[in-house]
A and B are shown apart, each in its own frame.
Chain A
């Protein structure tokens, strides 16, 4: 009798030990996620330190990027990053909104699923494919057909015309923005659709009951109800555009300059790092590139964190595609 009790308590102790080990391991893994973000921040600042302490704040305000004289400033790359992202958002937002509206309110149910799945699959295609396609297919089309037209029409306008003057290179800031837009449309559209689907049917039906048209229901019920989620999803898309490397690197031309024309080549932070990091010959050069990376980290981290805070209010499970 006593032997049975002995075996049981031994097994019990074994179970308890396993429990402690398993609990500890899962906790350690979870803490690793935290440590990862901290590690990224620390290692970036550490790598960027030589450049930051050498150039001080001037690093942020100077446009010069000269490996020969070992002088570096981030302004050109930051400008390119911001401008390509702005172009991408301007183009992608209305299209994504249209797709989300079509998918939630207009499409017949037999069409909803295939188009929805197609959009989600396209969001899974790696960015290098978009950049590659942009270089070989889109850029020649833009150069031969679209850009000459832009230069002769928009370029002639007073004021804004200055943005659209110059030679049709095919590659440049505008092309990069367009490729980015194509890349983030599926992503933003999928998030928006998910957000729109969280709107309770009762709300929409009561608006229809009052005689509202489909568009009025969308604009006055669906959009206000899902505003936070829409902004959050949009900002996630912006975070993607800001940090995107491969879709941009192929088509931007890699020139550290701030040009008045959107048709001219430029560079972005991530494109500069991708193009130059393995060729950085001096310590200051490599460190300056890491400093650019740190800058990108700060910018995207703020945007993504803000976006996540906005999406936090929504049921996580409703957002299947984020």
Chain B
């Protein structure tokens, strides 16, 4: 009887602890979102979207140039990384499905997927910034592209693998070359999954800070010049948070709020895309 009691006690204790762990995890993470909302919305004004980042020791100001810079660099990053990622994923899923080379590439891609982003920043610094001679928006976009690429390679391959072999075989039997089969059968069938991959990649790179610190740098002014430094939300948050000015810190809170909710919305949209349009992907 005591043995049984012991086992029951251990069971209750362990399961109770796991419930507590979940509660603690959710509470901390809830606290994070709560303070973002509280501090960010408390003083929120439309100035954030209409005015430039303020110079030191002046009141007011907004984040317009930083929001624009983040949007443009994320866009260029996806425009570069997206097609390359899709093509590489296509190779892994279709042409090279069983090739030994693909095993190696798959592994390297998985490593890149979790590689520290600051290292990508150093790489692009050496590759682009040093030869160009100055920090630039385009180098920031390139480092974002390199971070987005492995995400897209992975999801593209996974999604293409979910397309039933039968419908590809049917296309081949009609006399279509593989490229035609991929373009007209595989891509449309995997479309929503691949779109999800792109959205997740956007979510991933739009908050990246470390690789932008020494590629895009920052810019206090409005700039659309891709070969010059450009403001961007993450680096502005970093600089303003560590500044002594109240209005800078407040803008940092608002920047943090904007980034977090933009990314949460993107991730939710990505899920909804799969849930409503998607092939039964098994991905949650």
Binding site for B on A (CB under 8 A): 15-16, 18-19, 22-23, 25-34, 36-37, 39-40, 43-44, 46-47, 94-99, 101-103, 106-107, 113, 115-122, 124-130, 132-133, 135-137, 182, 185-186, 189, 213-216, 218-219, 236, 239-240, 242-246, 249-250, 270, 273-274, 277-278, 290, 293, 296-297, 300-301, 304-305, 307-308, 312, 316-317, 320, 322
Contact across chains for A46 and B238 when beta carbons are under 8 A apart: no
Q: Check A33 against B119 for contact (C-beta < 8 Å).
A: no
Name the residue in B28, B210, B213 with the highest tally of chain A Cβ atoms < 10 Å from its Cβ: B210
**B51 interfacial contact with A, CB 8 Å:** no
Chain A residue contacts of B7, Cβ below 8 A: 213, 216
Contacts of B150 in A (CB 8 A): 33
Let me know if B222 is at the binding interface, CB within 8 A. Answer: no
User: Can you list 21 A-B contacts with CB-CB less than 8 angstroms, sorted by A residue number?
Assistant: A26-B87, A33-B112, A36-B112, A40-B119, A40-B120, A101-B18, A115-B26, A122-B29, A128-B207, A136-B39, A214-B11, A214-B15, A215-B14, A215-B15, A216-B7, A218-B14, A250-B241, A273-B122, A277-B213, A297-B119, A300-B115
In this complex, what residue of B is CB-closest to A125? Answer: B260
State whether A95 and B25 are in contact (beta carbons under 8 Å apart), knowing that A33-B105, A130-B32 are contacts in the complex: yes
Interface: B191 (CB within 8 A): no
Whether the Cβ atoms of A39 and B209 lie closer than 8 Å is no
> B24, B108, B114, B180: which has the most chain A beta carbons within 10 Å?
B114
Report B's interface with A, CB cutoff 8 A: 7-8, 10-11, 14-15, 17-22, 24-26, 28-29, 31-32, 35-36, 39, 83-85, 87-88, 90-92, 94-96, 101-102, 104-105, 107-120, 122-123, 125-127, 146, 149-150, 153, 158, 161, 177-180, 182, 200, 203-204, 206-210, 213-214, 217, 234, 237-238, 241-242, 249, 252-253, 256, 259-260, 263-264, 267-268, 271, 282-284
A125 cross-chain contacts in B, Cβ below 8 A: 32, 207, 260, 263-264
A44 to B161, CA, bound (A): 35
In-complex Cβ contact of B158 among A182, A277, A290, A317 (8 A): A317
Given known pairs A125-B264, A215-B10, the reply for A242 and B116 (CB within 8 Å) is yes
Q: In the complex, what distance in Å separates the CA atom of A18 from the CA atom of B178?
A: 10
A126–B126 CB distance below 8 A: no
Contact B241 A18 (CB under 8 A): no
The answer to whether B11 touches A308, judged by C-beta atoms less than 8 angstroms apart, is: no
Residues of B near A36 (CB, < 8 A) are 108, 112, 146, 149
Which of A16, A215, A277 lies at the interface centre, i.e. has the most chain B CB atoms within 10 A of its CB? A215
A28 to B, closest residue via Cβ: B87
Does B234 lie within 8 Å of A128, measured CB to CB? yes
Within the complex, the shortest CB–CB distance from B252 to chain A, in Å, comes to: 7
Chain B residues with Cβ under 8 A from A249's Cβ?
Answer: 238
Q: Is the CB of A308 within 8 A of B28?
A: no
Distance of B244 from chain A, by nearest CB (Å): 14
Contacts beyond the supplied A128-B209, A129-B260, A136-B35: 18 A-B pairs with Cβ under 8 Å: A18-B177, A26-B91, A27-B91, A29-B87, A33-B149, A34-B104, A40-B123, A98-B18, A124-B264, A133-B32, A133-B36, A219-B14, A245-B118, A246-B210, A246-B238, A249-B238, A293-B118, A304-B110
